[in-house]
Structure 1
Amino acid sequence: MSSASAHFRPRRDRHGRGHRGPMAWPPVPAMATRAEQFDELVLDAASRMEHQAGAALGSLEFAVEDVPPSDPAPWESSDVPLGRLFAAQGKLPARIVLYRRPVETRTTDARELAALINDVIVEQVAALLGVDPRDLDAGYDPEGN
């Protein structure tokens, strides 16, 4: 036995407890990320809107982006948008984009988040169809009350 290996001791578990827990949590449905939860809320609101508006929506697509682009169009207001409607062009269908971070920062809990997502989708679909948002959703509340 050499002198170098005589002084080497493997680290031992002094109290016999081992590791206190897993190094990483298992991927369980209850641990969905905020982005995944937001996407689910958008899908729920979009399916409700498709059920209410029916065939008038055509092949409308819904998308989620984290933040709006930093260079808005000249005709857009300087406020941070919560969502945006892109009209159909050629073979591209109309698209509604919701911006996750601005929507999340305006809410304090899951109930408010779901309500705001629904209101943004109702506003954008109403703009697409040229109708009042209250005609599409009786629960629409532009004041957020």
Structure 2
Amino acid sequence: MVGSLFMGCFPITMQSLSQSSKVKAGMTTDEVRDIMGEPVMTELDRDVEEWHYCRYVINKDRYLAIFFVDNKVIAKTFYTQTENGDCSLFVKTGDYKVPAEVRAILDKKTPNPSELKEPKEPIEPEEGVMPIVPKVEIPNQPNPPKTEEDE
């Protein structure tokens, strides 16, 4: 009885995950939205878009993560978590793991340390010293044709 009293104290997300078997590799985001509805959370990490769906279940919320590259499904995975509260508040927790095929794409898009460059510190001007300005030459422009107004 106590549990039922508290059920009305917070919103509960009850998305249906039963249609997830219809989501196949290569489907577009629009096709997935038509099947699954709106996700509770979306995220973009480099070129990988990630959508999350969840269903509140007492003691063990269920989640579906769908991964897209170039607007096409490349992977999906289920996960669970056991925190109390609306499942939309606990996305990417519990036993969530990024699928290997997605991890490979993310790792490929990560710059190597040799590609990362340290930012240069700005040079502070010295007081009383004129800064060195590089010589800038203006290229010769052709003379415009003469008009009657020029005469």
Q: TM-score range by the shorter chain?
A: under 0.3
TM-score relative to the length of structure 2:
0.26
> Which has a greater percent of helix?
1
TM-score relative to the length of structure 1:
0.27
